[in-house]
């Protein structure tokens, strides 16, 4: 079943059950706590909190999402993309747990001939909070699930919060058993690769006043109403229904891997000793090309902080992974149009805005190629020296020189070092960076006399340090 078909079936299922179909919001919705929209509920947050009155009691959407926190998982697990689409159904003070369970069960196990997704009911597992008898009973009564396939899991997995004050509530996650060849028995608690999480039903009922961790928060009190917020991973369902091994092999993603194979002359899925590493590279390329496309489509341009830096990092990682696969020429002009052709059907703005999107992406690749050209030799020399001396760590001064003279962001140096089996003296690097800032401050004071106004920009830099990697690691909060 194609991704487009899954999407249509999801929306039709809920539209047929009284939900208003709402188009995806931009990835750049204004929310001070979020770099990007990372869940289907984000555009509806004011309704849950009672800050605005929703024009409908029930809604359904397929929301574009970006989760940069998952970047390290991409290509290594079967199920994490930096970009993905979340199918959702929402109830604003209308139906609650029973309705959510009923609608979800009807869709996943419904016959494919009559609009369902056709999953085998015997393969379905769910999780609930240990004390959530209401959810447990709903799964028993409505779905007829036996006790052993309703697994209790703690707050970390079965209580949703935004990572910051806001709405929250217990949740119940739906998993599909992919079969004994993918891991041990024992349900999602035992193995999340064999048991693939496809859908999370959140029973949004409380407002949180403080969140210290996923499972450590203060509840201020009940929300004005009891709500439902669900998120089903479109790509995850597609990978199961298309009989693939992971989300990078589905119809909307794999064509980029196919093109990358042609360009590099390497084979995806080859069994040589490097096979697995190369496969991860192919998947990273396909994922990052797609998320870059979607981000530029929504108006992000590469930059040195915040959203722009995330995009820059995604584009650069895509280009570097093509080089690691052995392809040295400009890669984006070959790959980006392939992704556009697959995504443009659902997101026509990618087609109408194509000239701008291509220009932004290709210019960034050009600039990056120049950076690499200047710095790679220096890096290789440094790495060679370190190896020869028998040490395993690139000194802070080298990382600093690469940054200062050749424009290598520290994360690029870190990644290249890791590939060479080396580490980097990061504290040493940071020390040199802060010394350089001190010198710049002193210079500015000397120039302007004792009444130096080093300016807002300096102040921000001093307060926050160099933003290029900090922004990336800290500006996003995990959802669900
Ligand atoms: P996981 O435990 O697999 O990381 P999650 O619990 O973080 O997933 P939720 O926050 O519950 O995910 O999001 C709802 C649904 O969105 C998930 O059930 C899954 O189907 C999908 N999803 C979440 N993160 C990703 C991702 N990085 N790539 C693709 N789909 C995702
Ligand atoms: Mg996750
Ligand atoms: Mg999970
Ligand atoms: Mg989840």
Q: What pLDDT is stored for residue 275 in this prediction?
A: 67
**Between 406 and 469, residue with greater pLDDT:** 406
Indicate which residue's Cα is closest to atom 27 of ligand 1. Answer: 80
What number is the average pLDDT over the span 131-153? 97
Indicate which residue's Cα is closest to atom 10 of ligand 1. Answer: 480
Indicate which residue's Cα is closest to atom 2 of ligand 1. Answer: 197
**Between 105 and 418, residue with greater pLDDT:** 105
Q: What is the pTM of this model?
A: 0.88
Q: Is the CB of 10 under 6 A from ligand 1?
A: no
The atom of ligand 1 lying closest to the CA of 197 is: 18
Q: What pLDDT is stored for residue 264 in this prediction?
A: 97
Q: What pLDDT is stored for residue 273 in this prediction?
A: 64
* Residue 310, helix vs strand vs coil: helix
**Closest listed ligand to the CA of 84:** 1
- For the cut 80, the answer to whether the pLDDT of residue 104 exceeds it is yes
Distance CA 245, CA 182 (A): 10
Q: Is the CB of 197 under 6 A from ligand 1?
A: yes
The atom of ligand 1 lying closest to the CA of 192 is: 3
Q: What pLDDT is stored for residue 428 in this prediction?
A: 96
What number is the average pLDDT over the span 195-200? 98
Spell out the SS3 assignment of 269-298.
CCCCCCHHHHHHHHHHHHHHHHHHHHHHHC
pLDDT one-digit tens code per residue, 164-181: 788 999 999 999 999 999
Q: What pLDDT is stored for residue 476 in this prediction?
A: 38
Q: What pLDDT is stored for residue 229 in this prediction?
A: 98
Mutational pocket test of ligand 1: of 84, 193, 229, 240, the residue with most ligand atoms within 8 Å of the beta carbon: 84
**Closest listed ligand to the CA of 197:** 1
With a cut of 0.90, is the ipTM above it?
yes
**Closest listed ligand to the CA of 231:** 1
Q: What pLDDT is stored for residue 478 in this prediction?
A: 36
List the single range of 113-122, 255-264, 291-300, 390-399 with lowest mean pLDDT. 390-399
What number is the average pLDDT over the span 328-351? 97
Indicate which residue's Cα is closest to atom 5 of ligand 1. Answer: 480
Indicate which residue's Cα is closest to atom 12 of ligand 1. Answer: 480
Of 48, 31, 58, 53, nearest in space to 167 by CA: 48
* Residue 451, helix vs strand vs coil: helix
Q: Which fold has domain 3-241?
A: BirA Bifunctional Protein; domain 2 (3.30.930)
Mutational pocket test of ligand 1: of 88, 200, 201, the residue with most ligand atoms within 8 Å of the beta carbon: 200
Q: Is the CB of 79 under 6 A from ligand 1?
A: yes
Of 109, 318, 108, nearest in space to 233 by CA: 108
**In the predicted model, what is the mean pLDDT of the chain?**
91
Q: What pLDDT is stored for residue 455 in this prediction?
A: 40
Ligand 3 centre to CA of 232 (Å) is: 11
Q: What pLDDT is stored for residue 459 in this prediction?
A: 37
Mutational pocket test of ligand 1: of 79, 128, 156, 239, the residue with most ligand atoms within 8 Å of the beta carbon: 79
Of 414, 256, 245, 403, nearest in space to 322 by CA: 256
pLDDT one-digit tens code per residue, 231-253: 999 999 999 999 999 999 999 99
Distance CA 7, CA 117 (A): 11
Q: Is the CB of 259 under 6 A from ligand 1?
A: no
What number is the average pLDDT over the span 131-151? 97
What number is the average pLDDT over the span 114-120? 97
Q: What pLDDT is stored for residue 441 in this prediction?
A: 85
Q: Is the CB of 80 under 6 A from ligand 1?
A: yes
Q: Where along the chain do its domains lie?
A: 3-241, 253-425+470-474
**Between 416 and 2, residue with greater pLDDT:** 2
Handedness of CA 207, 470, 157, 288 (dihedral sign): positive
Q: What pLDDT is stored for residue 137 in this prediction?
A: 98
What number is the average pLDDT over the span 20-34? 91
**Closest listed ligand to the CA of 80:** 1
What number is the average pLDDT over the span 363-388? 92
Confidence of residue 450 (pLDDT cuts 50, 70, 90): low
Ligand 4 centre to CA of 4 (Å) is: 23
What number is the average pLDDT over the span 275-301? 95
- For the cut 50, the answer to whether the pLDDT of residue 460 exceeds it is no
Q: Is the CB of 67 under 6 A from ligand 1?
A: yes
Q: What pLDDT is stored for residue 451 in this prediction?
A: 46
What number is the average pLDDT over the span 57-82? 96
pLDDT one-digit tens code per residue, 378-397: 899 999 999 999 999 999 99
Q: What pLDDT is stored for residue 278 in this prediction?
A: 93
The atom of ligand 1 lying closest to the CA of 174 is: 18
Confidence of residue 162 (pLDDT cuts 50, 70, 90): confident
Handedness of CA 269, 272, 276, 279 (dihedral sign): negative
The atom of ligand 1 lying closest to the CA of 70 is: 27
Tell me how far apart the terminal alpha carbons of the chain are, to the nearest angstrom. 27
CA 303 from centre of chain: 19
Q: Is the CB of 163 under 6 A from ligand 1?
A: no
Q: What pLDDT is stored for residue 368 in this prediction?
A: 94
Indicate which residue's Cα is closest to atom 9 of ligand 1. Answer: 480
Q: What pLDDT is stored for residue 471 in this prediction?
A: 31
Confidence of residue 272 (pLDDT cuts 50, 70, 90): low
Q: Find the largest Cα–Cα distance for the chain.
A: 80
Confidence of residue 409 (pLDDT cuts 50, 70, 90): confident
């Amino acid at each position: 079943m194609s991704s487009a078909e899954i999407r249509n079936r999801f929306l039709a299922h809920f539209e047929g059950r009284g939900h208003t179909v709402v188009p995806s919001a931009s990835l750049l919705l204004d929310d001070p706590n979020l770099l990007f929209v990372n869940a289907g509920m984000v555009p509806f947050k004011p309704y849950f909190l009672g800050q605005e009155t929703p024009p409908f009691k029930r809604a359904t959407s397929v929301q574009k999402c970006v989760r940069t926190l998952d970047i390290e998982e991409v290509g290594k697990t079967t199920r994490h993309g930096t970009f993905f689409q979340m199918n959702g159904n929402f109830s604003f003070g209308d139906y609650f747990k029973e309705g959510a369970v009923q609608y979800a069960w009807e869709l996943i196990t419904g016959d494919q001939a009559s609009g369902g997704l056709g999953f085998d009911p015997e393969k379905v597992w769910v999780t609930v909070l240990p004390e959530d008898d209401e959810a447990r009973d709903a799964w028993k009564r409505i779905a007829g699930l036996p006790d052993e396939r309703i697994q209790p899991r703690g707050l970390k997995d079965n209580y949703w919060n935004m990572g910051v004050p806001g709405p929250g509530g217990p949740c119940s996650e739906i998993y599909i058993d992919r079969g004994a060849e993918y891991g041990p028995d024992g349900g999602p608690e035992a193995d999340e690769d064999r048991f693939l999480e496809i859908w999370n039903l959140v029973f949004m009922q409380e407002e949180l006043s403080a969140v210290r961790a996923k499972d450590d928060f203060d509840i201020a009190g009940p929300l004005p109403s009891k709500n439902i917020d669900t998120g089903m991973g479109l790509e995850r369902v597609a990978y199961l229904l298309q009989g693939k091994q992971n989300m990078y092999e589905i119809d909307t993603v794999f064509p980029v891997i196919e093109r990358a194979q042609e360009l590099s002359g390497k084979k995806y899925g080859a069994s040589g000793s490097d096979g697995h590493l190369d496969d991860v590279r192919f998947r990273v390329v396909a994922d990052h090309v797609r998320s870059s496309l979607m981000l530029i489509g929504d108006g992000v341009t590469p930059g040195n902080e915040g959203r722009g830096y995330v995009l820059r990092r995604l584009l650069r990682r895509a280009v570097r992974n093509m080089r690691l696969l052995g392809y040295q020429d400009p890669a984006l002009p070959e790959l980006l149009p392939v992704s556009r052709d697959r995504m443009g059907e659902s997101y026509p703005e990618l087609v109408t805005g194509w000239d701008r999107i291509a220009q932004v992406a290709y210019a960034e690749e050009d600039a990056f190629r120049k950076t690499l050209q200047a710095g790679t030799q220096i890096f290789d020399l440094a790495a060679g020296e370190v190896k020869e001396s028998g040490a395993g760590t690139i000194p802070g001064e080298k990382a600093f020189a690469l940054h200062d003279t050749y424009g290598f962001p520290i994360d690029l140096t870190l990644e290249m070092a890791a590939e060479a089996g080396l580490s980097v003296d990061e504290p040493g690097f940071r020390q040199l960076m802060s010394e350089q800032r001190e010198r710049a401050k002193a210079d500015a004071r000397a120039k302007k006399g004792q009444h130096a106004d080093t300016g807002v920009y300096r102040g921000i830099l001093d307060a926050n340090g160099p933003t290029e990697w900090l922004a990336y690691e800290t500006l996003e909060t995990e959802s669900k």
